[in-house]
Each structure stands twice: as C-alpha cells, then as structure tokens.
Amino acid sequence: MKLTKNLEILSTSIKVLKKIVKKEKFSFGFDIADRCPNGCHCYWRFAQRVEEMTDEKVINFFKKKKEEGFLNVFIIGGEPYVRPDLLEKVAGIIPITFAITSGTVPFRHLKSSVHIVSIDGKDALTHDTIRKGKNLYNRIINNLKKARQKKFPVFLHTVLNAINYTQTKNIIEVWEKNGLADGIVFSTMTPIAGVDIEHLRLNTKQREYIVKNLLQLKSEYPAFLLNTKEMIKKLHPEVTKNYSQSKCLAKNNFIAYDAAGKEKDKCIFGADSICSECGCVVTTMTESMNSLYGFLSALPFVMKWPYKCLNNK
C-alpha cells in the first residue's frame, strides 16, 4: 500500500514538472463561492458579483477539468466554507487540491487536499485589524487545535502589506512554535487600479526590505518558510517593474475562474491588477523556475504539495 501511494505521488509530481517545462496549463483557481462573511480588502471583494453554479454543475465542472488534464486546483472564493458540503464533494476530484480559507469556521476533512489558512499578522490585534473583524485570529487558533488532533495537513499564507510587512519573523516564530501548521508561504499585496487601499499598499523601500528580510529568514527557517530563495527574489521591485500581462509566465500554467465558471480577465486578481507590483505566489514560482538553477531549487517546494495532498485520503 505504501509503495503504491509513493508511486502515485512520484507519478503526479513528474506530470506537474513536465507541464511546467512544456509551459502547459495544469492548475486552475476556482471561486467555489461568491460570498464571504469577512470584511477584509481581498481582491475578490472588488470584482463584480456573479451567480454561483449549482452543486451539480460545480462537480461536473471539476470532472471536466480533470479530463482536460488539470492536476491542481486552488479552491478559493469568497470563502469556500460558506459551501462546506460542496467543498467535501469536489475535494479529491483533482489530484492536488488546495482549499484557501480564512480558517474562522471549523475545518472538515477534505480528500487529497491541504488547507491553506490566511494569517495576516503576528497576533490577534494585527490580523483582526487587517481582516476588519473581531476574534477572527483566536477562532483560527481554536479551529486548528481541534483539527490537528488528527492527521490534518495545513499551511499558512501571509500577504504582506504596509501594516504587517515588518512582522514576518514574529509570524514564523509563533507558528513554528505552536505546531499548528506545516509551513508558511509569503506573498506581497498586489494592488488593484482604482481601488482605494493605499493604507495597505507597499512602497518601493518596503518591498526591498521584504526581499532582504525573507532571504535572511529563509536561512534561519529553511524548512518552515516554504518560499525558495529564487521565489523571494522575484518579489523585488526591480524585477516586478518588468512584469506585464503579455510577459506573465504564470498564465502558461494557471487559469482562474469565477463562481459562474467563467474565465477571469487577465489573472486571479482580475483585469485591473497592477502587474508591475505583482506579489502572487504562483507568479514567483513560475518566474523562478524559468532558469535551470531556479527549476532545480524549486523541486522540494513543488514536490511537497503532491506529497501532502495524496497522503491525505
């Protein structure tokens, strides 16, 4: 049984790597819900609302994507857990499933999946301020304590902005110590044109600081901090200033759909996202793997996800 599982993990990982090399799409994002109980400044909130597909249509949509050869899905929203029963039904249809959640409602076991929980600060004060809600951080802690009593793979994702960008070390220290997550990924806020969130927007100096700081922290926490050094370097403003929709490598491998099943304009952030300040994890990964050294250094990062998902039956 163990040998069969390991062969499945290896086979899936090789398929992913082949598609990356061939610049073929293997991953998609899907807004399983067009609703969210939280009031944060997520890019989703500034998109036009759409009518959600029925459960049956969503399940068929996932089955079709599997037939098309897709190996990975980011189940997003809104908040995926506003449709928990549907979430359980679609989990596992695609071999590598990521459920991106605020973590503020009790978790469910999802087949062949890992949860990626959004953490926006070193403590409840910062997190709840950015998320514009009360007791959100403590609810995440409580939900994870219950979930982690059994086998429950979970990673964290922090979007760095002008409020929390100096807290990276504190965030890592807290979560590595409490044992409630298997690792953390950092990205930087991608601004949306015409949206007034200047209090969160990073300036050039702050983004330079983030890169320098994360590179240092990668040396201190090589296992828990999941971004590779090459991925971190791709967040530097001198790099991102050259990004544009036509040059984006992420679009070779990734496609995003709204809750109605329609392909989003441009990318997951929508048509008005500012590419020259892109901080997307998918972009940093694909850009970093565009060289042989970057490709080889990213292998542990890429292989970790199939391993965690396919071991979670």
What element of type H or E holds 306? helix 292-310
| 17 is a domain residue | no
pLDDT of residue 42: 61
Question: Comparing C-alpha atoms, which of 161, 176, 84, 85 is closest to residue 127?
Answer: 161
Task: Kindly compute the dihedral angle of the four CA atoms of residues 212, 242, 116, 34, in this order, to the nearest 10 degrees.
Answer: 140
Q: Residue 274's domain is classified under what CATH number? A: 3.20.20.70
What is the pLDDT, as a whole number, of residue 130? 92
* b/e sequence 224-250, b meaning 16+ C-beta within 10 Å: bbbbbbbbbbbbbbeebeebeeeebbb
Q: What angle do CA 204, 240, 212 make, to 5 degrees?
A: 55
Q: How many domains does the chain have?
A: 1
Within-domain flag for 57: yes
pLDDT tens per residue, range 62-119: 999 999 999 999 999 889 999 999 999 999 999 999 999 999 999 999 999 999 999 9
**CB-CB contact of 105 with 83 (8 Å):** no
Task: Judge whether 19 lies within some domain.
Answer: no
Q: Which domain holds residue 289?
A: 25-310
pLDDT, tens only, 34-73: 876 676 666 555 567 789 999 999 999 999 999 999 999 9
Cβ 110 vs Cβ 88: under 8 Å: yes
Question: How is residue 52 annotated by DSSP?
Answer: P
User: For position 178, what pLDDT does the model report?
Assistant: 97
| 36 part of a folded domain | yes
Identify whether 4 is part of a domain: no
pTM: predicted TM-score of the whole model, two decimal places: 0.93
In this predicted structure, what is the pLDDT of residue 78? 81
Instruction: Show the low-confidence residues of the chain (pLDDT under 50).
Output: none
Whether 241 is covered by a domain: the verdict is yes
Does 3 map to a domain? no
Work out the burial of residue 272: count CB atoms within 10 Å of its CB; fewer than 13 is exposed, 13-18 middle, 19 or more buried.
middle
Structure tokens at 38: 């939280």
CA dihedral 263, 269, 270, 273 (to 10 degrees): -150
Q: Is residue 11 part of a domain?
A: no
Tokens (6 digits) for 280: 């997307």
pLDDT for position 179? 96
